[in-house]
Amino acid sequence: MSQADDRVVIGGAIQRLFDAAGLPWPPPARRTVTPVPLDTLIQAYNLTHDEVPALSRAAAGAYLARWGVHRPELLEDAAPLAGFLFANAHGGYILVNAGDPLPRRRFTAAHELGHYLLHFLPRLQAARDVETSLVLHDNGDTVREEDKEMSLPEMERQANQFAAELLMPETVCRTATHLYAARFRTPARFLEHHLAGDLLVSRDAMRWRLRNLNLTN
Amino acid sequence: MSLDFLLHYGGRRLRQYVEQPLLESPPEEDEEEEQKVALDFELPPDAWQPRTIAADVIDPATMPQRFIDGCHYGQTAAWLRDSLGHPIPVRLAEIGGVCMHVDGRSLRRQFAHVERIVCLIVDPFPWHEVEEFAASLAGIDMRLLPALPPIIDDVRQLTYDYASMEQRTYTQAQVEMRVLEELALSQAPDTLSLVDGPLGRYEHAQAIGVVKQHRKDYLGPNPKCWQVFYNLEPGQRTPAFRLATQSSPIVSWFLKLQGAHGAMPNWGIIRIEISSAHFEHQGSDFDYLDRLSNALLHLRCRQSSYARAPVSMEPIVRAEESLKSLLTPPATLAQRFYHLTGL
């Protein structure tokens, strides 16, 4: 799939997400920039998100067991994870490592939401067996999924792009940049610091996003 | 949950005592880079001697036309506790950057930008509560400024040491203030500008940084360099040295503005920074550093009532006064904050 195709698919998924949450997309252009309400968006799809101390497959398995989801194969792997996604036809769980900084926790959750909407939901909707469930986890460097049908690097790229577009919407970045530029010369660092703080993302993520949108050098 | 966030986490006001312990200015770790010092840039360390630069005639090309300062005016207005009982200080402040411009024989404010910030370490809280709190603050013209936890044993982590946590919010606000200074500086990139503080990551070819505090040891184990430093008389400078950073390299030297018998040996000494690009643009001419130092010597603050006068530039003092006139007194700001947040 080309990057242009990715943009269409991701844009469509985000549009449906905001529709489901009853929120306008793209976010209206405003002078003040506020964080995207990730909590509201995640709940629009009957997903539960939670922050788990020392997240691992084992910790996730124990967490799911408390809610009646028994996946004993998870309980043996204690390798640390940044994020974990479980989903079936009834809904799902997005778990993030409670020990990570808040901007990273949000990015990880948005990333897992991207996996859910882009990669899991279409397959769950197509599955004949309503008991079908899918599991995926990220440790920041690699991603693993039980079913090897999909190309994992491609899924990762799409999920990252989804998270970036969701948490740092292009319209918000462009509007804020143009509003600042109308008032004064805006060095890249000013934009990075301001928008990262206002959108509750890391400065590295914001720097990458602004460069990607050709708003800074 | 919105502005109730503070109450929800046991927020309580923090009374401001008359005698507050002065917070040290620690390295702004978000900003600082490793710097390798090359002391033999102008002269080998063994050959260092004080250079007399004072002259009656000022080279107009070395006289800065713009003066940049930042201001951070605030207090720890409240503190919370996270679920594990860590104390979370809440710093309420106004920060700003200002530029004064030479207009004939007077100085005029050319640019100023001020922001109200609420700075705290947000990591221990659920993100959706922080999202709502940030949005609510934006609604009352305040910005949430997330601070990073302190570094303990090489790892960023929360601590029960209140002072360390408070230091982080202070440092984060300082870092943000420096961003606003850079904003002020960037409004006229082609004009020779004097900045209060180190140049840091400013990529401004026409900036001169004046550093009043000597926190870092640039001279190292070189007795000769230190002897020259302590032997400086008003109107003398040390030879220049080069600071190599990952971003733009810096040319730096010490200049003694004032000093009297009985004063501390490093009293009245400032450190000056210009970018290597700036120096090269002047033909890598060390006489240019003399002329520039002479211009700064003539700009020194002569107000005996100003506590930091011996290491201050008069136009920077004026810039600071100009910016402070735009700020709200911390007590007034705190009262408004308490009213809006229900603390």
Å between A128 CA and nearest CA of chain B: 35
Task: Enumerate residues 6+ apart whose C-beta is below 8 A from A209.
Answer: A164, A168, A173, A201
- pLDDT tier at A29, thresholds 50, 70, 90: confident
CB contacts, 8 Å: A48 with chain B: none
As a whole number of angstroms, the distance between CA B133 and CA B144 comes to 8
- pLDDT tier at B260, thresholds 50, 70, 90: low
As a whole number of angstroms, the distance between CA A114 and CA B155 comes to 30
DSSP B67: E
- pLDDT tier at B224, thresholds 50, 70, 90: very high
pLDDT of residue A159: 93
pLDDT of residue B52: 94
Query: Where is average pLDDT lowest: A29-43, A50-64, A120-134?
Result: A120-134
Helices (H), B86-157: 127-139
pLDDT of residue B96: 95
A34 touches chain B (CB under 8 A): yes
Q: Do A35 and B113 touch (CB under 8 A)?
A: no
pLDDT of residue A130: 64
As a whole number of angstroms, the distance between CA B180 and CA B145 comes to 14
Location of structure tokens 């500086």: B185
Question: Rounded mean pLDDT of B316-326?
Answer: 92
Segment A147-155 long-range contacts (CB within 8 Å, at least 24 positions apart): A150/A119, A154/A1, A155/A115, A155/A118, A155/A119
- B61 C-beta neighbours (distance < 10 Å), count: 11
CB contacts, 8 Å: A101 with chain B: 123, 148, 156
Q: Do A190 and B179 touch (CB under 8 A)?
A: yes
Output the DSSP codes for B134-154. Answer: HHHHHHTT-EEEEEPPPEETT
B19 pLDDT higher than 50: no
* Maximum mean pLDDT: which of A25-39, A97-111, A121-135, B188-202: A97-111
Q: Do B186 and A186 touch (CB under 8 A)?
A: yes
Helix axes A188-199 and A203-212, enclosed angle (nearest 10) = 120
Å between B51 CA and nearest CA of chain A: 37
A197 touches chain B (CB under 8 A): yes
The predicted-structure confidence for B145-165, as pLDDT tens digits, reads as follows 999 999 988 888 999 999 999
Nearest CB to A102; choose among B111, B146, B156: B146
CB pairs < 8 Å spanning A and B: 73
pLDDT of residue B256: 93
Q: A30 or B169, which is more confident?
A: B169
Share of chain B above pLDDT 70, in %: 90
CB contacts, 8 Å: A200 with chain B: 122, 127, 130-131, 134, 146
pLDDT of residue B71: 92
Mean pLDDT in chain A?
A: 87
pLDDT of residue A78: 87
Task: Tell me which residues of chain B, numbers 36 to 95, contact chain A at a CB-CB cutoff of 8 Å.
Answer: none
B231 touches chain A (CB under 8 A): no
B20 pLDDT higher than 50: no
Q: Do B123 and A102 touch (CB under 8 A)?
A: yes
Question: Rounded mean pLDDT of B75-101?
Answer: 94
The predicted-structure confidence for B265-306, as pLDDT tens digits, reads as follows 778 899 999 999 999 999 999 999 999 999 999 888 777 666
Nearest CB to A193; choose among B130, B135, B176: B176
Q: A7 or B200, which is more confident?
A: A7
H or E segment and range at residue B211: strand B207-211
A50 touches chain B (CB under 8 A): no
* Residue A109 tokens, joined: 């959750």
Q: Which of A214, A168, A165, A160 is nearest to A11 (CA)?
A: A165
Q: Answer for the pair A47, A116: CB distance below 8 angstroms, yes or no.
A: yes
Share of chain A above pLDDT 70, in %: 91
The predicted-structure confidence for A156-166, as pLDDT tens digits, reads as follows 899 999 999 99
Q: Do B179 and A193 touch (CB under 8 A)?
A: yes
A51 touches chain B (CB under 8 A): yes
pLDDT of residue A142: 46
The predicted-structure confidence for A62-95, as pLDDT tens digits, reads as follows 999 998 888 888 888 888 999 999 988 888 999 9
B182 pLDDT higher than 70: yes
pLDDT of residue A120: 87
As a whole number of angstroms, the distance between CA A164 and CA B33 comes to 28
B186 touches chain A (CB under 8 A): yes
pLDDT of residue A148: 52
> ipTM, 2 decimals?
0.87
- pLDDT tier at B24, thresholds 50, 70, 90: very low
- pLDDT tier at B201, thresholds 50, 70, 90: low
Q: Do A35 and B134 touch (CB under 8 A)?
A: yes
A12 touches chain B (CB under 8 A): no
Task: Enumerate residues 6+ apart whose C-beta is below 8 A from A130.
Answer: A88, A89
